[in-house]
Amino acid sequence: MAEKERIGYFDTMKGIAIILVIVHHALGYNGTPIEIMLESMRMPIFIFVAGLFLSFRRGFKVLAIKKINRYILPLIFFSLLYLLVYDLFVADTLSFSYFKVRIYNYIINLSLNNANTPLWFLKMLFLLCIITYYIDKLLQRCSKPIRLLIAIAICTAFAYLFECFNPHIIETPISVIVYNSQLPSAIYMLPVYYFAYLYKDIFIKPVSKQKVLALLPIALVIWYFTGREPVQYYRAWSESPYLLLLIAQVSAVYCCFAVAYALGRVPVISYYGQYSLAILGTHSIVQLLLERVFHIENPMIMLAIILLTAPALIYISTRYLPHFSAQKELIKVDENGKIRISFCD
């Protein structure tokens, strides 16, 4: 993809988020108060930053193709890579027929990311973009606060509908597909995404650092008192106070934004943030090899190795696989609106 002038503090935000993701996966989840609070920060940071740079100016077709390049192609590639590594080095049962059956089952159930579980997030981001496009088109004549309030109301209403299809209550083919699609998670996170889209100018061109940091203590207090509920993205409405979780997420994201804005670009952290998608797609593969092939059980050693190998994997992914790591577009829309596939710039 065409290289644009980057805003350093957003890369810092994403760098903080992807490091928290790696720490979470390497060290495991113990349900401590700090872990519960960080749940309301990790993924919402990515959602918030993605919403800031959402644009509908070129129409739905261009939007959908761009998001397929950015989210769906990396989802497919890194999921298949995970399956291949697993069959070669862990299961030791690599055969084309077996591999083909597994892929078929994943596709039928819309659960390809189950092969590389952190990638569930990419499906959610893709759906968020599509849903937000239609909601904003429907509400374009309303003021921004009214649009946001209506979006929250729509999300809350859909919550009860999704509970009817919850496979954790009654498992049916439809319920499995609905939840594997990450549609409930996308609806749940829509207010954060839509808020970022509507009020992007506030964060892309903020006022002075002093004013941004002045709100940090207030955001910290709000996050502390609202971020104590565990976040379950697939059952956010039935098992957690939804509006409270939204407040926790917005305040947590603001805390990260304020710190990142004050610091600007930070070596290593901002670099990890700039290429967070490549890390998201590869870190679970590294963890799989460390656990199942090299039998490393110490989580701190595992964490250190994942963080240290990240730059090499970023280099390989972005230099040799740019079309599958969201660096270049494989599927393009030309000036006449025709869709074509090209490996050339």
Q: Does some domain include residue 2?
A: no
Q: Does some domain include residue 217?
A: yes
Give the per-residue pLDDT at 1. Answer: 44
Tell me the C-alpha distance between 286 and 288, whole Å.
Answer: 5
Kindly report the pTM of this predicted structure.
Answer: 0.91
Total count of domains within the chain: 1
The domain containing residue 307 runs over which residues?
A: 8-341
Q: Does some domain include residue 1?
A: no
Tell me the C-alpha distance between 197 and 178, whole Å.
Answer: 26
DSSP 321: -
Q: Does some domain include residue 147?
A: yes
Q: Does some domain include residue 94?
A: yes
Q: Does some domain include residue 3?
A: no
Give the per-residue pLDDT at 2. Answer: 41
Give the per-residue pLDDT at 19. Answer: 97
Tell me the C-alpha distance between 34 and 43, whole Å.
Answer: 15
3-state secondary structure 182-216: CHHHHHHHHHHHHHHHHCHHHHHCCCCHHHHHHCH
Structure tokens at 13: 């935000």
How does pLDDT run along the chain (345 residues), one tens digit per residue? 444 568 999 999 999 999 999 999 999 877 788 888 898 899 999 999 999 999 998 899 999 999 999 999 999 999 889 988 888 888 766 566 566 666 666 665 556 656 788 999 999 999 999 999 999 999 999 999 999 999 988 887 776 676 666 655 666 777 777 777 888 889 889 999 999 999 999 999 877 889 999 999 999 999 999 888 776 655 544 555 778 888 999 999 999 999 999 999 999 999 999 999 999 999 999 999 999 999 999 999 999 999 999 999 999 999 999 999 999 999 998 887 789 888 776
Give the per-residue pLDDT at 199. Answer: 95
Q: Does some domain include residue 237?
A: yes
Q: Where do the H-state alpha helices sit in 87-215?
A: 96-108, 120-138, 144-163, 173-180, 183-198, 200-204, 209-214
3-state secondary structure of 143: coil
